[in-house]
Structure formats: structure tokens, C-alpha cells
Amino acid sequence: MNINKFYYVFMALASCIAFSACSLDNSDPVPQISSITASFEYQKVNEDGFWIGEKNNKGKSSDDGFGGTITQYPNEYVEGALKFPINYSVSESSLGEFTYWSGFAISARTEDSFSGLALGQYNNVVGKAKTGNKFCVVTTYGEEIEVMAEKGAIINYLYYTNSAYTVDCILNDGTISKKFDDTDWLKCTIIGTHLDGTTAKVEISLAQGTNYVNEWQKVDLAALGIVKKLSFEFDGSDKGNYGLNTPAYICLDDINYTLVQ
């Protein structure tokens, strides 16, 4: 009798262990977070192959100090969890209307050289995107890429190359800038801003002497850590009273990131 009781107790325990094992085996798996790539393919461009924002109901006007007005229209390109701001500005005066921009423009242009500011500033030296048909042209006055996810993201890497406009000024004397010699240089510092406001930096060289980046290159950015913002600062050897003379442009594509859960 005691043996039978022991047997039933043993079987009951064995069943519980088996049930527990099955429960563990069939539990929800730990979420696997995949990386995401922003490739700029979703923005519609104009007939000339670029987008620099547009007029909207958010415009704010101010006096330009010369009898005219400047109206700034904030725009943005959003892909996944990344927001790319761009300011489209319209200057109106007795001389007419002029438009300009700063931030993150989208281009689908395939020319690889510079033939004037109107279109040439939207060309890169490779003549195509890294993948797909579109890439991002960056020239900023404080605009930053924003990670919209609450807990931020790790920016794993991105691809970059030179603007055709920048390279034209490296190879030739410009109105303000000078042709590079062996002592000249140009760099871009990519700055990641953390959730607590602290920052980390990665520097990339765009030109050293007469050698310049002329293909898509990959830069690893995981060392920046978990970031909420990504910004770009330029520095170089050719400077004047108002800062850098060489056009402060860089072209980006395929920004790969992982969201923090």
C-alpha cells in the first residue's frame, strides 16, 4: 500500500514536471529586434529630381533687413522611426523671389559633376544612390535627425559620399573657396545625442589634400551608443571671417539602426 502511494505521488510529480517543461517550451519567445534601414525611397521629388520642402501653413515671415521678407517653411521627411527636418525658405524683395533650404534634402539625380548651384548641389560624385534611386543631401544650420522612438536607437552604420558641389570647390577656385593643395583638408563630425543630453562623436574625412572621397563609404556608428538625435558638423582648412569657405555638404544613404525596446 505504501509502495502504491509512493508510486502515485511519484507519477503526479512527474506529470507536474512534464507539464512545467511543456509550458516553458511553448512560452512566448524573447522578441528578436531586427535592424531597420532608411533609404529615402519614399519621398516624391520634383521634375528636376530633388525635394527641398515646400510652402505650407507653418510658414513664419521676418524682415530681411533690406526692405524685403524671408519666410521659412518647416518641412520633414519621415521614414520608419527617423525624422529628417528641412527648412524651405523664400526671400521676397524688389529684386524678386529666391528660394533656398537647409537640413536634409532628398535627391534622385544621377549626374556626378557640378554645373551650377541650381541643380548641381543635389548631385553626388558617384552619380547614383548607394541602393535604390534616392539619397539624402545634407547641409545644416542646426537641423538634426531625430529618433522618434521613446527609448532611442543604436545607429549601426550609414553610407556617405561627397557632394559634387563640394568636390568642384576642392578641385577649382571658387568665388569664396580656394582650390585644395596638399595641406588642405575637410572633415565631417557625426554627433549622437543621448537621452540624457550627453554626446558622442565619430569623425570622417571627406578630403585630405587633393584626395577626396569619391565613392560610397560605410561608417560604423554603434560606438555612439543609444541616441535620440544625430547631427553633422563640418570643419576644414579653408576658412574666412564667416567660417568654412568650402561648401559644407555630405550625401547619405542606407542609414541602418536598431530600436531600443
Nearest-angstrom CA–CA distance, 125 and 165? 9
HSE toward the beta carbon, residue 57, CA cutoff 13 A: 0
The three three-digit cell numbers of residue 232, written as one number: 553633422
Q: What is the pTM of this model?
A: 0.86
What is the pLDDT, as a whole number, of residue 39? 98
The number of beta carbons lying within 10 Å of the beta carbon of residue 45 is 18
End-to-end Cα distance, the chain: 56
Please tell me the predicted confidence (pLDDT) of residue 183.
97
Query: For position 19, what pLDDT does the model report?
Result: 33
Residue 58 burial by CB count (10 A; 0-12/13-18/19+): exposed, middle or buried? Answer: exposed
In contact, 183 and 237? CB cutoff 8 Å: yes
Residue 107 CA to residue 101 CA, distance in Å, equals 13
Distances (CA, A) of 105 to 22, 70, 157, 161, 182: 54, 20, 20, 15, 31
DSSP state of 213: -
pLDDT for the residue numbered 225: 98
3-state secondary structure of 170: helix
Per-residue pLDDT in tens (0 to 9) along the chain, 261 residues: 443 433 333 333 333 333 333 333 334 444 446 899 999 999 999 999 999 999 999 999 999 988 999 999 999 999 999 999 999 999 999 889 999 999 999 999 999 999 999 999 999 999 999 999 999 999 999 999 999 999 999 999 999 999 999 999 999 998 899 999 999 999 999 999 999 999 999 999 999 999 999 999 999 999 999 999 999 999 999 999 999 999 999 999 999 999 998
Task: Please give the helix or strand (H or E) that residue 155 lies within, else none.
Answer: strand 153-161
* pLDDT at site 17: 33
Residue 22 has a pLDDT of 35
